[in-house]
Structure 1
Amino acid sequence: MKHRTARGMTALALGAALVLTGCADDSDSTDAPSATSTDAASDTPTPTAEDVAAVEAVKVEGDAGSEPTVTFDKGLTVSVPTATVVTPGTGADLEDGQSISMDYVSYTGADATKAGSTYEGDPDTIILGDQGIIPALNQVLEGQKVGVRAVIAIPAQDPSTGEATTSVLALEVTDAIDVPDRATGEAVTPPAGLPTVTLDDTGKPSIEIPKDYEEPTELVAQTLIKGDGAVVKETDTITAHYTGWLTDGTQFDSSWDRGAPASFSLTGVIKGWTQGLAGQTVGSQVLLVIPSDLGYGETASGSIPANSTLVFVVDILAVN
């Protein structure tokens, strides 16, 4: 899955490297949840001895909780994403499925210059174990604790020149929050005529679109389960389980199928998501029917044709 915010990391122009799957919106609007997915754990590349040595040579110094000083020789490159723990954490254990907050500072491997930093704003958030995250990041955090510091180097391509480059991140996990498996709250009876949502025993949704369903010209945001958590703001980062369909019933994306919810900023998704989820409460499940002008518009995106009305069922599990 890929959003323009790429889980909050585009401030450093590194999100595309850390997020493996999805499709991007080329219009001026923000991106949607992806139309494609890849099992990132099925074919994880193995770093060479040279890759490991290069990353282990990166020095990270400074007090915990503050942006560190990072030094390494110019010309650092790796053949595949490579990560190593710098300092173990002393807080709570990190577990798959948790919402992990982390700060990091990034550098360009070629000239060892700073590219950006979350320490200058808000921490980033990922779901540990999410298959949409680059495997090296999941692997380096596996079995660690809150407070762990690590370095990850990622081969990429300079978007302006097309030349190969390597990005180097020094990261620190600042918090870990347990995330519910599904929406919980009071069931809401939707009005007649909308797509019908059915949940299996795990909470995974399926949908039935009425044969005579008339695609709306305005956004539909129908609460199906009303949670009692915090009210979501349009600038929040949320953690959600979701599935998306076309109005012919074709599924194009599902976090349920990837085995983990996803975290992303509502400033970095299609307008239909931002408008439809802002004002909802954590714990809620929401049916979104999004006209194309609030989705991808006239631009095809992966398996989503141009001018498509999109249908989503979204479980809002947490807000950061």
Structure 2
Amino acid sequence: MRRRSLLLAVPAGLLTLAGCGDEKSDKSKSEPSPESPESPGSGDAAKAKIVDGPVPEITEGTEFGEKPTVAKGSGRPSSDLAVKTVIGGEGGVVAKGDFLQADYLGQIWDTAKVFDNSYDRGAPAVFPIGVGRVIPGWDQGLVGKKIGSRVELAIPPALGYGEQGNPQAEIKGTDTLVFVVDIVDSFNGKSAAKGTEVAQDNIDLPKVGTNTDGKAPSIDVPEKDEPKKLVSNYVIEGEGEELKASDSVLVQYKGVLWDGGKEFDSSYKRGELAQFALSEVVKGWSQGLTGKKVGSRVLVVVPPDLGYGDQEKGEIPANSTLVFSVDIIAKM
């Protein structure tokens, strides 16, 4: 199993990236997770002064996307948050509340000891930014930066792991942290699939709209008998990696009933992306999305035995066949 980021898996009492998604009794939709406890120093985060240095030199791996080697800090670090854009990107601006996709390396100022990096894991991390779900130095230093940028941060203790530090990573409460962050992408409630449209020529199946303007696609259910087996077809085929059953994903989705086409759930209406593990949703979702590519829009038709069976769930009657349009925005 891939080792989880220390940036996100911080000790109790700090701002953590809590798991999103519903309880196992109701898996078809994802709800916002509870508010995380306030971290030490987070009350000062809004008032943090941002300066442009000092930050240590990047001595190797100087290109965007390359694992960097960073020198030990020279002299005393700033007591303010030091933020330097090493490579300026040309993409969109990262906004508060976005899900940020980034590669990063973190080390300690005084010793240059690397305590975490995503490059060795072979995949960037994805997490909400600017909303108190990661350490305050990241929330302060990365909002407003452009996609494609490499940013170096020197984060004082109050904006990092606080007075208790992070014993798991051998970070003391007095340590200034140095991060190099490559901003790969960002996602929000307007994000959509990116790829090639696939013909929907089976007249016995629902037809899903192919708009990618951030609005919910249409789902036209035919006046025919519902399929008895799971259906999982590309509407738009992306170019990302194929999902594994053990993966967690970030998606946009809309769900309607086969019988009558009534909408019962939509991330578009909430204006926010849904986040969940494929192992923790109804079998129709986990089986239907496993093997599909990131960036895709997928039609998933879930028969009752792979959905809620004979249980009634809110606006979903018992023994319902469910129809979903799912945009796979990113792998978490």
Q: Normalised by the size of structure 2, how large is the TM-score? A: 0.52
Aligned to 1:101: 102
* Structure 2: gaps spanning 5 or more residues: 49-54, 59-67, 70-79, 107-114, 163-176
Counterpart CA distance in 2 for 1:181 and 1:88 is 31
Q: Is the 8 A contact 2:28 2:281 kept in 1?
A: yes
Q: 1:220 aligns with which of 231, 234, 242?
A: 231
Q: 2:255 aligns with which of 244, 248, 251?
A: 244
CA deviation profile, 1:102-150 (whole Å, cap 9, x unmatched): 6699xxxxxxxxxx97869665313658x9979x876663124644556
Alignment of 1:316 onto 2:328: yes
Counterpart CA distance in 2 for 1:49 and 1:177 is 28
Q: 1:257 aligns with which of 269, 272, 279?
A: 269
Query: What SS class does the counterpart of residue 204 from structure 2 fall into?
Result: coil
The 1:123/1:24 distance shift into structure 2, 3 A limit, reads farther
**The 10-residue stretch of structure 1 (244-253 or 176-185) with the greater mean CA deviation from structure 2:** 176-185
> Which protein is bigger by CA-based radius of gyration?
2
The Cα RMSD (Å) is 5.7
Counterpart CA distance in 2 for 1:88 and 1:100 is 19
The 1:178/1:213 distance shift into structure 2, 3 A limit, reads same
The 1:52/1:153 distance shift into structure 2, 3 A limit, reads farther
Aligned to 2:44: 52
Q: Aligned-pair distance for 1:20?
A: 8.8
Query: What SS class does the counterpart of residue 257 from structure 1 fall into?
Result: helix
Alignment of 1:124 onto 2:125: yes
Counterpart CA distance in 2 for 1:278 and 1:241 is 16
Counterpart CA distance in 2 for 1:138 and 1:276 is 35
Counterpart CA distance in 1 for 2:290 and 2:85 is 35
Q: 2:184 aligns with which of 172, 176, 184?
A: 176
Counterpart CA distance in 2 for 1:132 and 1:49 is 11
Length, aligned pairs only: 263
The 1:209/1:128 distance shift into structure 2, 3 A limit, reads farther
* Structure 1: gaps spanning 5 or more residues: 1-6, 41-45, 67-83, 106-115, 155-169
Counterpart CA distance in 2 for 1:319 and 1:263 is 9
Query: What SS class does the counterpart of residue 203 from structure 2 fall into?
Result: coil
Query: What SS class does the counterpart of residue 94 from structure 2 fall into?
Result: coil
Aligned to 1:25: 24
Query: What SS class does the counterpart of residue 51 from structure 1 fall into?
Result: helix
Q: Is the 8 A contact 1:95 1:143 kept in 2?
A: yes
The 1:281/1:100 distance shift into structure 2, 3 A limit, reads closer
Query: What SS class does the counterpart of residue 205 from structure 1 fall into?
Result: coil
Counterpart CA distance in 2 for 1:252 and 1:302 is 10
Q: 2:242 aligns with which of 232, 235, 238?
A: 232
Counterpart CA distance in 2 for 1:288 and 1:279 is 13
Structure of higher RCO (CA pairs closer than 8 Å, 6+ residues apart): 1
Q: Report % sequence identity.
A: 28
Q: Normalised by the size of structure 1, how large is the TM-score? A: 0.54
